[in-house]
A and B are shown apart, each in its own frame.
Chain A
Amino acid sequence: MLPLLQSEFVDKKKWLTEEEMIDFYAISQSTPGIIALNTATFLGYKQAGIKGAVLATLGVVTPSIIIMTLIASVLQNFVNNEYVKHAFAGVGVMVVALVMDSVVRLWKPAVIGYLGKTIFALSFLALITYGTSPVIIVIFSSLVGYIYRKRFLK
C-alpha cells in the first residue's frame, strides 16, 4: 500500500514531501495497529485534523469491507464444490509458505540482539507448548523491552 500512497499523495497531490512520507511510515511502524492503516491515519490528520484522520481511516477500510463481504457471501455457495475445495487446499499450503516468508523477512529488522532472540524464542515456545495467550505474550514482552531500554540503554 505504501507505493500507492506515495504516488497519490507525494507525486500527484503534493500534500507531502518524500521525506515526510518516510517519517510518517517510520512512526506508523512504532504505533500499535496495522502499519498501512496508521500511515493513512497520520496523513489524514496532517491534512485535516481529527476529522481528516477519522475519514482517511474509514476511506481505507471501506473498500476492504465491501469487497470482503461480497466475497464471503458469494463463497458460501461454493464451499462444498469439489474444485473449490481442492483449490483451497492448495491455497492453504501456499499461505503457510507466504507466512513463513514474512517471518524470514521480519527477522533482521525485528529480532535484534540477544534480547530480541530470547524474546522471540521464549514467546514461540510458550505459544506452542503451553498455548499461552497472545495477549499475555505481547504485554509481557513490551514490559521486558521497556525495562531493558530504561535500565540498560539510558
Chain B
Amino acid sequence: MINLVVFLEFFKIGLLAIGGGLVTIPFLAELSEKYNWYTAQDLAQMVAISQTSPGAVGINLATYVGYTVNGGWTGVIAVMGLILPSLIIIIAISKCFFCEERRGFLQDFLYGVRPASAALILYGGYVLARISIIDYTSAAFAIISFFLVRWLKWHPIAFISLGAIVGIVFKM
C-alpha cells in the first residue's frame, strides 16, 4: 500500500517537476510535511548525497527518498513513478518529434513553467538553507561558497568534498 502511494506521488512529481532534478526538492519537502516519512533535515542530507553520486540528481534523490521511506524496492518504485510520465509523453509525441504543431503546443504550456521552475529551485535552496545555515560560521561559509561556485568552474563533486572538509575542520 505504501509503495502505491510512493509510486503515485512520484508520478505526480515526474509530471510537474519540469527542468532538472533540483526542481523536485520543493515537491519532496511538501511530501515530508504530508506524510511523516522523513524530516526536512533528512531531505537536506539526501540532496547532498544525491549531488555527490554519479548519475542524474533527480533519479538519485528519488532512489534515496524511496529507500528511506520503505527500503530498496520502494526506491526502485519511486524512480519508476518519476520517469513514467516523461516516457509516456515522449512516446506519445514520438510519431512526429519535430512537428511544429505539437512542439508549439508544448512550448506554449512550458512558457510560464520555466520561470516558475526557477522559483521552485530558489525555494528549494531556501528550504535547505533554513536547515543548514544555523550560526555565523555556516552563514559565512555559505556566502563564501556561493562566490567560489560562481567564480571557479569546478565539478560539483570538488565543491562537495570541500564542504565536507570544511565541515570537519570547523566542527560544524
Which A residues are within 8 Å of any B CB, using their own CB?
1, 23, 27, 30-38, 41-42, 45, 50, 53-54, 57, 60-61, 63-65, 67-69, 71-73, 75, 83, 86-104, 106-107, 109-112, 115-117, 119-121, 123-124, 127-128, 133-135, 137-139, 141-146, 148-150
| Sample of 6 A–B contacts (CB below 8 Å) | A30-B103, A32-B18, A61-B55, A119-B119, A127-B120, A137-B116
How many residues belonging to B are interface residues under a CB distance threshold of 8 Å? 97
Q: Could you tell me the dominant secondary structure of chain B's interface residues?
A: helix
| Bound-state Cα–Cα, A73 to B73, Å | 12
Do A95 and B163 touch (CB < 8 A)? Answer: yes
Which B residues are within 8 Å of any A CB, using their own CB?
12, 14-22, 25-27, 30, 44-45, 47-56, 58-60, 63-64, 67-68, 72, 75-76, 79, 82-83, 85-87, 89-91, 93-94, 97-98, 103, 106-126, 128-129, 131-133, 138, 141-142, 145-146, 148-150, 156, 159-160, 162-168, 170-172
Name the distance in Å between A130's Cβ and chain B's nearest Cβ.
Answer: 12
Which chain A residue shows the least CB distance to B163?
A94
Task: Count CB-based A-B contacts (< 8 Å).
Answer: 320
Contact of A150 among B64, B91, B108 (CB under 8 A): B108
Contact of A42 among B21, B90, B170 (CB under 8 A): B90
